[in-house]
Amino acid sequence: MKLTTAQFKTDFLAEIKTLYATDLADTSSFGQFVALGHLLRRYDGPNWTQTSERYRQDDVKQVYYFSIEFLPGRLLKSNLLNLGLMQPVRQGLQELGLDLETISAAEPDPGLGNGGLGRLAACYMDSMASLGLAGNGNGIRYRYGLFKQVFMNGYQVELPDDWLRNGDVWEIRRENKACLVRFGGNVWMTPQADGSLKPTYEHTDDVLAVPYDTGMVGDHNGVTNTLRLWSAELPPSADQTYYSQAQRDRIDEITKVLYPDDSNSAGQALRLRQEYFFSSAGVQSILRHYSLRHHGMRELGKKIAIHINDTHPTLVIPELMRLLMDDHHCSWDVAWELTREVMSYTNHTIMQEALETWPIDMFKGLLPRLYQIVVEIDRHYRADKTPIFGEALVNRTAPLGNGQVRMAYLAVIGSHSVNGVAPLHTELLKTDVLRDLYAVYPERFNNKTNGIATRRWVQIANEPLANLIDQKLGTEWRHEPSQLKLLGAYANEPAFLKQLTAVKTKNKQALADYIQSELGLTLRTDAIFDVQIKRLHAYKRQLLHVFEIIREYLAIKDHPEQVEPPRVHIFGAKAAPSYHYAKSIIKLINALADLVNHDPDIGDRLKVAFIPNYGVSLGELIIPAADVSEQISTASKEASGTSNMKLMANGALSLATRDGANIDIIQAAGEANEYPFGLSAKAVYGYYDRGDYHAADFYQADPELKRVLDTLVDGTIPGISTEGREIYDSLLRYNDEFFVLADYEGYIQQQRQISHDFQDQQRWQQKALANIAAAGVFSADLAVARYADDIWQMPHTPLKA
Ligand code: KOT
C-alpha cells in the first residue's frame, strides 16, 4: 500500500489519542507498539477481508496446515516489511522522536513452540501468503508459551512465559466461530431407517474451542491469510449446567501451557487432550466453512488439503472420518477415500523416543468414538494388506499393536503423502524407521527439504547485509531469493569483500553489546564468533563443542606464546525441564564459561557466552553475527536442521557433520567453503549393525582427548563434581551413545583449520559470500511451492527456481 510519512504520523498520533486519551509523551514503548499494531491492522484490514472474500468467490482450493506449535516471532517488523511500509513508518517515528527498533523490542515474542518444528510452521505460513496460496494455519493458543530460561548458579531454572499478560494486538477473538469438542463418556451407535448408524453420547466432558485469528501478511501482494489458534473454554451453560472446580480446571488446563519437549514424546493424557482438542476444532471448522458453499462432500478432495506437521495432529484422520460418517452421512468407503485424498503428513524425526504412541486404554477412555474408528481403520488395513504382505509385516505396521495406538503408522495409512525434510532423512524413513510401511505404500513417500523465510532471517534480522546486497543486485532478490546466486560474480572484488567484513563486524558489535549488558562479558569483534544455537539434546552434541573449548583453554595455558585468532564460543539452548542429562550439559557449559572467562592467563583470547532464553528474537540478534555455524549432530540423527540454513544465509561457514540438510548445504555452497567432518550415517549404522563401537578405545588412543575428558572429573573445572562424573560415565561406562569420541579428532582438525583460515579475511569472506549466494536454494518460498505442486495440488505464483 501507499503511505506517506505525513499521513502515517497523523494516523499514529490519532491512534495514540484514541487508545490512551493522552498524548505521545505520556506513553511507554509498549504502548507505542500497541498503537502501531492497531494501526497496521487497520491498514491491512481490507487485504485480509478481500483475501477471504476472493478465496470464497473463486472457490479456490485451501490448504490447512495443522501444527501443535507455531513460532512466528515478533510480527511488527515482518508486517511492515511485507506491507511495504518499513520506510515511511521508520521515518515518521523518527520525526516524532521515536525509534522503530525500541518499539519493536517491546513486542512480546510468542513462544508457542519448542524449536525447529514450530519455527518451520511459521516460515511456511509466511511463504504461503507470499505465494498467494490459500493457506491456513491451525494450532493452539497456549496461555503460557515455552518457559523463560534463566541460569542460577549455572543451572537452568524455568520461569513461566506470561506472553499474553497485556493481550495480543494481532489476534481477533471469534467467538461466533467456536466449536464443541467432546471428551470421555460413553457412545452408542444406533441403526437408522436408512441403514446408517447414529451415535448417542452420554456423560461426555464438553469443551468449547474458541478461535483466535491472526493475519499472515504476504510479501507485497495484497494477500493476508489466517493463522487460527484455539483456546479451551467452558461451554455456554444456557441449561444451567453446573461445572465443578475440577471440571473447570480440566478445561482450563488444555490450552494453558506448551509441552516443553523437543524431539521427544510426552506420552501424557493432557497432551492427548491437547492433540484432539485442536485437531477436532480445526476439522469441524473446515467442514463448516466448506459446507457453506458446497452440497455434499463429493468435491472435498478438490477443495481441501489438510497437512499435518508431524504426528501430533494425526487425530484429524479419524476425526474427519467421524464427521463425514456421523454428521454428513457418508459410507465408510466414501469417507475413507476422501480422507486419504485430503491428508498429507510430514515426519520430522527418526529419534525413537519422539515417535508418538498412546496406550489403548487411555485413548479409548478419552476418545471412545474415535477409538471405534481407529479399530475400524486397523481392521480394514489388516484385511486389505495381510493377503499381500503377510501377517508379520502387517502386525508390525498396523495402527494398533502392542497395546498402543501408533500415531506415525496411522498418519501414513490415512494420508496420500508422507515426506521427510531432507534427502538423507527421507532415505532413512524408507530404509529404517518406516521401512515396512514403505514396502506397502512406496508411492506415498517423498522428500521436501526444509526452507527458511529469507525475509525474516536476512531482510529483517540483517539489514546491513540486505542493504549491501541491494547495492550489487538491486532489490529483486528480496522477492526471489534464488537470485542471491548472482552474488557469486563479486567473489573477486576485494572492496566488496571488505564491505562484507564491515557488515559482519557491525553485527558482532550489536551482539557484543547485548552480551555485555546481559552477561557482563566483554568481547572483541575481531574474534571468531563460533555459534551453536539449538535445543540442548545429546544427539546435537553440544558436548563436542565443549571439548573444543577445553582443548583451546588447555592449549593457551600450556603454550601462551602460540598465538591463535581470538575465539568467542556462543551458545543458546534450552533443555526440556525433565531432561536431566541435557541440564547437566548446561551446567557444564556455564561452569566452563566461568573458569575460562575469569582466568587472567586467558584474557580476551578465549571467551564463552551462554546466552539464556534462546528463541526467535535472540536468533535474529545472534545469527547475523556468526562466523562459524556449529551443525555437529551425530550423522543420521538430525532430520534436517534449519539454523544451519539461517546461519548460511548470513554468511557463516558450516562446521558440520554429514547429517540432515548439512549434506545439501555443503553441496550447494561447495565443500571448499565449509568444514565437513565425522562419521557418515552409513558408518554410524555400520557400528550399530556390527555392535563394535568401543568409546574407550578412542580415549586410550589419543592422549589429548584423554586429557580433555579427564578435566570432567579431575577438578580442573570447578563446580561440576556430579555433572562432570555423570557426563564422563555416559561416554566411557555407557559407551557414548552418540559417537562423540569417534568424531573428536575430525572435529578438532577442522577447528584448527578454521583458526588458520580465518586469518586470511579476504579468503574467508569469499567463502562467506559463497554461502550467502547458495542460500537461496533453501528458501521457504521454494519449499512451499514444492509442497503446493507435488502434495497439495494447488496453483500459486510461479517462482524462478
Ligand atoms: C518433536 C516432537 C515429536 C516429533 C518431532 C519433533 C521435532 C522435530 N521437533 N522439532 N523437530 C525438528 O524439526 C525441524 C524442522 O523440520 C528439523 O529441521 C529438525 O531436524 C528436527 O529436529
What pLDDT digit, counting tens, does each position of 567-587 carry?
A: 999 999 999 999 999 999 999
pLDDT at 194: 84
Do 675 and 654 touch, CB atoms closer than 8 A?
A: yes
Q: Report the amino acid identity of residue 540.
A: K
Identify which of 475, 570, 494 has the alpha carbon closest to the alpha carbon of residue 532. Answer: 570
* 660 ligand 1 Cβ < 6 A: yes
Distance in Å, CA 351 to ligand 1 centroid: 10
For domain 462-679+738-778, the CATH class is alpha beta
What stretches of 691-759 show up as alpha helix (H) in DSSP? 695-701, 703-710, 721-732, 740-757
Do 213 and 171 touch, CB atoms closer than 8 A?
A: yes
**Ligand 1 pocket: which of 274, 311, 349 to mutate (most atoms within 8 A of CB):** 349
- How far apart CA 98 and CA 89 sit, in angstroms, is 10
Q: Is 504 a catalytic residue?
A: no
pLDDT at 355: 92
Q: Is 472 a catalytic residue?
A: no
* 631 ligand 1 Cβ < 6 A: no
pLDDT at 239: 59
Ligand 1 atom index nearest CA of 115: 10
DSSP secondary structure, 747-772, as one string: HHHHHHHHHHHTTSHHHHHHHHHHHH
Ligand 1 atom index nearest CA of 661: 18
* 120 ligand 1 Cβ < 6 A: yes
Identify which of 434, 439, 271 has the alpha carbon closest to the alpha carbon of residue 350. Answer: 434
Give me the catalytic one of 273, 504, 534, 637.
534
pLDDT at 241: 67
- How far apart CA 582 and CA 535 sit, in angstroms, is 9
Q: Is 706 a catalytic residue?
A: no
To which CATH superfamily is domain 59-74+109-450+784-792 assigned? Glycogen Phosphorylase B; (3.40.50.2000)
* 349 ligand 1 Cβ < 6 A: yes
pLDDT at 52: 97
* 117 ligand 1 Cβ < 6 A: yes
* 451 ligand 1 Cβ < 6 A: no
Cβ count within 10 A of residue 365: 14
> Where are the chain's structural domains?
59-74+109-450+784-792, 462-679+738-778
- How far apart CA 633 and CA 540 sit, in angstroms, is 4
Give me the catalytic one of 535, 545, 551, 607.
535
Is the alpha carbon torsion for 573, 734, 707, 757 positive or negative? negative
C-alpha to C-alpha distances, 547 to 70, 139, 311, 708, 755, nearest whole angstrom: 34, 40, 36, 6, 16
Identify which of 769, 147, 197 has the alpha carbon closest to the alpha carbon of residue 503. Answer: 769
Q: Report the amino acid identity of residue 7.
A: Q
Distance in Å, CA 205 to ligand 1 centroid: 32
- How far apart CA 100 and CA 76 sit, in angstroms, is 10
Read off the C-alpha cell for 455. Answer: 525475509
For 459, which DSSP code? I
- How far apart CA 556 and CA 567 sit, in angstroms, is 12
What stretches of 476-610 show up as alpha helix (H) in DSSP? 494-519, 542-558, 580-598
* 135 ligand 1 Cβ < 6 A: no
User: Which residue puts its alpha carbon closest to atom 19 of ligand 1?
Assistant: 641
Q: Is 646 a catalytic residue?
A: yes
- Residue that is written with C-alpha cell 543420521 in the block: 636
User: Which residue puts its alpha carbon closest to atom 10 of ligand 1?
Assistant: 117
Give me the catalytic one of 143, 322, 540, 637.
540
Q: Is the ipTM of this complex over 0.90?
A: yes
Distance in Å, CA 406 to ligand 1 centroid: 18
Distance in Å, CA 574 to ligand 1 centroid: 15
Distance in Å, CA 788 to ligand 1 centroid: 21
Ligand 1 atom index nearest CA of 639: 20
pLDDT at 800: 62
Do 791 and 344 touch, CB atoms closer than 8 A?
A: yes
- How far apart CA 115 and CA 615 sit, in angstroms, is 8
Query: Residue 239 burial (CB < 10 Å; 0-12/13-18/19+)?
Result: exposed
Distance in Å, CA 504 to ligand 1 centroid: 30
- How far apart CA 592 and CA 553 sit, in angstroms, is 10
The stretches in the chain having pLDDT less than 70 are: 238-241, 800-801
Distance in Å, CA 65 to ligand 1 centroid: 16
Do 621 and 517 touch, CB atoms closer than 8 A?
A: no
* 260 ligand 1 Cβ < 6 A: no
